[in-house]
Amino acid sequence: MTEILATIRIALRALARNKLRSGLTMLGIIIGVGAVIAMVALGQGAQEQVQQQIAALGSNMLFVMSGNMNRGGVRLGMGNTQNLVAADEEAIVRECPAVAMAAPGSGSGVQVVFGNDNWGTQATGTEPQYFDIRDWPMAEGVSFTNEDVQLAANVVVIGETVRKNLFGATDPLGQTVRINNLPFKVVGVLTAKGQSGAMGNDQDDAMFIPITTLQKKVTGQNWLRFISVSAKSKNETYAAQQQIEALLRDRHKLRGGKDDDFTVRNLADVAEVADQTGRVMTLLLASIASVSLLVGGIGIMNIMLVSVTERTREIGIRLAIGATEDDVQRQFLIEAVTLSIIGGAIGIIVGLLVSYLIPQVLGWAASVSMMALVIAVVFSFAVGVFFGYYPARKAARLNPIEALRYE
Amino acid sequence: MGNTVISMVEPVTHSGSTDSVIRAEDVHKYYELGDSRVHALRGVSMEITRGEFVAVMGSSGSGKSTFMNILGCLDQPSSGRYFLEGIDVSTLEKKQLAAIRNQKIGFVFQGFNLLARTTALENAELPAFYARVSQEERLRRAKTALQMVGLGDRMDHFPSQLSGGQQQRVAIARALVNRPSILLADEPTGNLDSRTSVEVMEIFQKLNEEQGLTIVLVTHEHDIAQFCKRAVVFRDGTIRKDDLISNRSIAADVLKTMPVLED
Ligand SMILES: Nc1ncnc2c1ncn2[C@@H]1O[C@H](COP(=O)(O)OP(=O)(O)OP(=O)(O)O)[C@@H](O)[C@H]1O
Ligand SMILES: [Mg+2]
């Protein structure tokens, strides 16, 4: 053990002799390991974010959208057809046994004014069940009621971002805001859900009013963009999906081979697909980054070969005074591994730094896992051994007499 | 560890007198160079016993270095046998040969062959490092050896900070650090001026007299051979002459008659 330490000391000294060269060689490994860590962190960050976002939509949730998105999505975008109506929503609740709750939804971009402040946001018309389906409680106040829906009352529930921008320190409850010039009373403020999606959608930049109010007073349209549905349990989401599809085809009189004019999305499926996509992306990023680690390894091999040639005489001396082939091989192998391990250690620091800076600078999510660090350490060690082996072997196999004569 | 390798070697395959350190029997050495073959040694037989001090002489290309490399286990004979302390070296594996070079042989070269950017002390302790000797013991031995060759005050110097004679003395200290049974020196004074050469020969004589160390030394100069006890002359890969030296010079006395050049 002390012998290994002594050999490491010899290796460090040999490396210190050519600081620039050792530094440049390490740079390859530093970039390689740093890139792997940063890329994996980015991939996993995106993956986690997508999962959080999906989870934030509420468990057991199904999403019925107007329009058919299962055929390339180009032909009919979401909400561009007018055949999803409130009666469909009522029928779903009434006739699908696997469905617990449903809430209709339609939206419009609006200007909201409070005093001298105004704010542009999305007003979604819905029913009180919507907040239960999405598992989205109020931070203050209460949701509007079913009675408000029946009466098409001018009441509004606002998201945290809207509250912050319009009210600041003022208590918003009971205040009147103007939405497209109509007065609305603020009855509730939703808890903050935070950013979502790789694009940084702010889920809290939203407000909700009764669906009837939206249709009668704001948009003047009576069709829905979506229906949020909650299945009775997680296990029943698939059954719920089947029942909704059958029901809507029947209600929309789609016979035989006619395409659906709606789309039902099951969040469990969405989550799984997103997870797989994320994993593939992480793997892809990691493999691209590994190429630079490989190039770094080749750099080590190159410099070790140069070093063996330069130090032929030293090797001859060591062999002549009794070093075995194993001794010489170990010496050069440890030198290569020392290079790659130090490079790997610096690479980890660089990778962590980049993983820390990217969210700050670019706003992308990054998540460093312990696993990635362990793999980085193991890999840089392996790179040193793998690419150091051949040069070390070459050094050990030198003929001492010829090596001593080498100029 | 080095010791165990040697003790693993079959004890004694053949042995002359118990005091035989070196015994070469009809040693040949060829070098294949393309189609031609260089016959560097053409049947050399020689026995050297403990405590001898042999000068190997002969014209350039006569095979002296080739013979020394075989004695030093850096090279193997093409045919013939070589016994080192009774062990038939040609039967040994690379690892065992390395152990023999490490433990039984001290080699001193014409070109010093010290590790650059490595202090005198570290150079001197290197063979002990490969013998797996503990650090304290290594340091102790290297210091003793350096003091013995008169470099007690230069231990932390790098080779580049030492004169040729001093570098050669570091090399001698290194050769002694594992207490070998034989010291081989290939033209150790070849790069040194005459006074420094005699100083080096004084060290060899002292080692030979006081410690009974067996020494084989290649030289071109009769003056230098005159410090030894026996002279072997090579010609064309064979031994031409093998005589005891009469009128042997004593280096310590010669030094007194030589002017001291200021550094
Ligand atoms: N590696 C080699 N390959 C081919 N021929 C060699 C090799 N080494 C030595 N020789 C040849 O063997 C012969 C003996 O060489 P050696 O070095 O033993 O001579 P030497 O007596 O030491 O000479 P010098 O006094 O010049 O050092 C020479 O003819 C030399 O050319
Ligand atoms: Mg020679």
What does the pLDDT look like over B92-139, one tens digit per residue? 999 999 999 999 999 999 999 999 989 999 999 999 999 999 999 999
- Cα–Cα distance for residue pair A70/A231, rounded to 1 Å: 22
Cα(B251) to ligand 2 centroid in Å equals: 24
pLDDT at B7 over 50: no
Q: Are the CB atoms for A400 and A319 separated by under 8 Å?
A: yes
What does the pLDDT look like over A202-245, one tens digit per residue? 788 999 999 999 999 888 888 898 899 998 887 788 889 889 99
- Cα–Cα distance for residue pair A330/A315, rounded to 1 Å: 12
Cα(B58) to ligand 2 centroid in Å equals: 10
Model confidence band, residue A289 (pLDDT cutoffs 50, 70, 90): confident
According to the model, what pLDDT value does residue A71 have? 55
Least confident of A229-243, B27-41, B44-58: A229-243
Cβ within 8 Å of residue A63, ≥6 positions away:
A57, A226, A227, A228, A229, A264, A265, A267
pLDDT at A77 over 60: no
Residues of A in contact with B72 (CB under 8 A): 320
Beta strands in chain B (DSSP E): 20-33, 36-49, 53-58, 79-84, 87-88, 105-108, 182-186, 214-218, 230-235, 238-244
Q: Is B60 in the pocket of ligand 1 (CB under 6 A)?
A: yes
pTM of model > 0.95: no
According to the model, what pLDDT value does residue B16 have? 45
Task: Map tokens 């590994």 to a residue.
Answer: A290
Residue of B101, B132, B135, B167 to mutate for A, most A C-beta atoms under 10 A: B101
Domain residues for the domain of A183 are 84-251
Q: Which atom of ligand 1 sits closest to the CA of residue B220?
A: 25
According to the model, what pLDDT value does residue A56 have? 67
- Whether A241 and A96 map to the same domain: the answer is yes
- Whether A220 and A129 map to the same domain: the answer is yes
Residues of B in contact with A314 (CB under 8 A): 115-116
pLDDT at A73 over 60: no
- Whether A332 and A234 map to the same domain: the answer is no
According to the model, what pLDDT value does residue B243 have? 94
Amino acid of residue A23: G
Model confidence band, residue A358 (pLDDT cutoffs 50, 70, 90): confident
Are A2 and B135 an interchain contact pair (Cβ–Cβ within 8 Å)?
A: yes
- Closest residue in B to A1 (Cα) is B132
Is A136 a domain residue?
Answer: yes
What does the pLDDT look like over A148-205, one tens digit per residue? 999 999 999 999 999 999 998 889 999 999 998 899 999 999 998 766 544 456 788 9
pLDDT at A34 over 50: yes
Model confidence band, residue B8 (pLDDT cutoffs 50, 70, 90): very low
Residue of B67, B104, B115 to mutate for A, most A C-beta atoms under 10 A: B115
Is A70 a domain residue?
Answer: no
Q: Which atom of ligand 1 sits closest to the CA of residue B66?
A: 18
Least confident of A45-49, A68-72, B64-68, B89-93: A68-72
pLDDT at B15 over 50: no
Helical packing angle, A325-361 and A2-17, nearest 10°: 70
According to the model, what pLDDT value does residue B6 have? 44
Question: What is the share, in percent, of chain A residues with pLDDT greater than 90?
Answer: 47
Structural domain boundaries of chain B?
2-12+50-76+94-256
Into how many domains does chain A fold? 2
- Whether A280 and A398 map to the same domain: the answer is yes
Residues of B in contact with A324 (CB under 8 A): 94-95, 98-99, 130
- Cα–Cα distance for residue pair A57/B124, rounded to 1 Å: 75
Per the prediction, chain B carries an average pLDDT of 90
Does the domain formed by B2-12+50-76+94-256 have CATH 3.40.50.300? yes
Task: Map tokens 């070196």 to a residue.
Answer: B22
Cα(B45) to ligand 2 centroid in Å equals: 19
- Closest residue in A to B131 (Cα) is A322
Helix (H, G, I), strand (E, B) or coil at A339: helix
| Dihedral sign computed on CA atoms, order B141, B146, B149, B150 | negative
Residues of A in contact with B101 (CB under 8 A): 319-322
- Whether A31 and A143 map to the same domain: the answer is no
What does the pLDDT look like over B23-33, one tens digit per residue? 999 999 999 88
What does the pLDDT look like over B134-172, one tens digit per residue? 999 999 999 999 999 999 999 999 999 999 999 999 999
The Cα of A358 is separated from the nearest Cα of chain B by a number of Å equal to 45
